[in-house]
Structure formats: structure tokens, C-alpha cells
Structure 1
Amino acid sequence: MFALMFMLLWVGVVCLCYRHLHQTSALSVGVMEGSYRDMLECTEEDITDKVVFLEKRVTELEKDTAANGEQHSRLKQENLQLVHRANALEEQLKEQELRADQTLLEEIKKQRELLSKMEREKSIEIENLQARLQQLDDENSELRSCVPCLKANIERLE
């Protein structure tokens, strides 16, 4: 930084000297000596002002650079945290989707098993009812076959 300030200061002095010499080149040597003294005095004040200005500017730039560096670091850290959070949420979403798929498959299996059980129970009930119907038909046939005999017995008893 100081090398930069020195270089800028040197360039400023050279420019001022050149400008001043160029402006006063038409003057005589005696006048030139007085002007040179004025120029040195003026130049010293200008140089001092420029040095103060440059020091302030360097300080401001250092502060800005530090602030920008801190902000950059903070934003970088914040971005890293957000990336980790996004990755964690994506992983959590995948796990939840997997669990939901597993739950759905289990529920489908459970419903199929329940449906199969109900169909088996229905088939058994139908078989039982058909057997009972056959039994009642057989009983009915037996009783019908007994009706003529019973009528004959009633007529005989009367």
C-alpha cells in the first residue's frame, strides 16, 4: 500500500513540476527561480494534501475490502448451510416417499388378503347353505313320501 502511495505521490510531483515548468518556460531565469520556490512550496502543500487524501482513501478501501471479505465469508457460509439443509430435506423427502410406497404396498397386500379371506368365507358359507338346502330338500322329500302313509293311517283311524 505504501509503495502505491509513494508511486502516486511521485507521479503527482512530476506532473506538477512539468506543468509548472511548462507554464513558466517563457519567464526569465530570475523569475523562474522565484517561481520554482513558489512551486516547491505549493507542491509541498499539494503533496501533503494528496498524501492525506490518499491515506484516507487507502483506509476507506481497506475497510471496504474487509467488510466485503466478511460479507463474502458470511454469504459463503450461509450458502453452505443452505446447501446442506436442501440436501437433508431432499434425503428426508426420499425417505418419506419410500415409506409411503412401502405403506401403500403393505396396505394393498393387506386389502388383497382381506378380500381373499372374505371370498373364502363366502365360498364356505355358500357350500354350507347349499348343504343345508340339500338336507332340507331331502327331509322335505322324506316327509312328502310319508304324507300318503299318514293320510292312510288317519283315514283308518277315523
Structure 2
Amino acid sequence: MIRRDGEDRICLNDLWRAAVQPMNKEPSDWRALPSTKGVLNALIQSPEKFGGLRDTVWIIGKGGKGGGTFTYQHLALDDAEYLSPELALKVKDVFIRYVSTDAKLSDEVLERASSESNEWAAIRALRRSQRRRYTDCLQDHGVKGKDYGICQIVITAAIW
């Protein structure tokens, strides 16, 4: 079991144990890596995504019973990839599929999602499709600049 603390941080010690305790790959070894510091700096430099966590201590050490090293999901995933080259390849595969807009990836995610999430995704996809047809039509008819924006606002309000 991989524990989480009260702030939803993930226990790196539990990840290490789940990876069958590889030698020289304890949480303290991972923390000392230049690449870990690079990922941490990238997170701190992304206030638009992580603004609420900007002034937070990203890696917390807790002593005593139930203690360990805890961190947020992005850094925990970085640690998990460090522990397991196989996991690192799986993460990269999903990223490549996402960037290449592999529609099957969405379907695989929705297979595991709730009925409510599937219904939301279906409605959202249909609306996106309607909007795409509309904007393509505007483009085909030479609508540009401010007029394009006005038409966009009107149709977006109607279909969303």
C-alpha cells in the first residue's frame, strides 16, 4: 500500500518498498539527483499550473511511526520512474500517445471511468464536434478578424 498524508502527498518510502527496495535508490538518493532538482525547479516556475503550491515545501520528511518522505504527485511519479525503467517507458508511451492525439487513449481512460464521467465526455465531444463544424464553415466563408470572434462568442454561448 502506498500511503498519502493529510495533504494528499505520496509516501516515497512506500514506493521504494513497492519497487522491492532497489539498492542505491532510496528516497534520499532520488532527492540528491540533479534531475530531481530540475523537475522541482520546473514545478516552481509553473505558477499557472501549480500556483497554489508555489510556496509549499515540496518534499516533506516525517519522523517516527508512520513517518517517511512525502511529496506531491508530479515528483512521486518522477521518483517512481527512477525506481522502475519499465514504468518510465509506460509513462513515456502514454505521453507520446497523448501528444499524437491517439483517440484510443481517451477510450481506454473512459473504460475505467464512472458512468457520469462517460456521459460528460460524450456530451462534451458532441459539442466540440458541432463547434468544429461551425468554425470550419466560418473559415470556408472567409470570416476573419473581429467578425470571426463575434460569431464564435454567439455560437459558443448557444452550444455550451
Q: Could you say which TM-score interval applies, normalised by the shorter chain?
A: under 0.3
TM-score by length of 1: 0.22
The TM-score normalised by the length of structure 2 is: 0.22
The structure with more radius of gyration: 1
Bigger proportion of residues as strand: 2
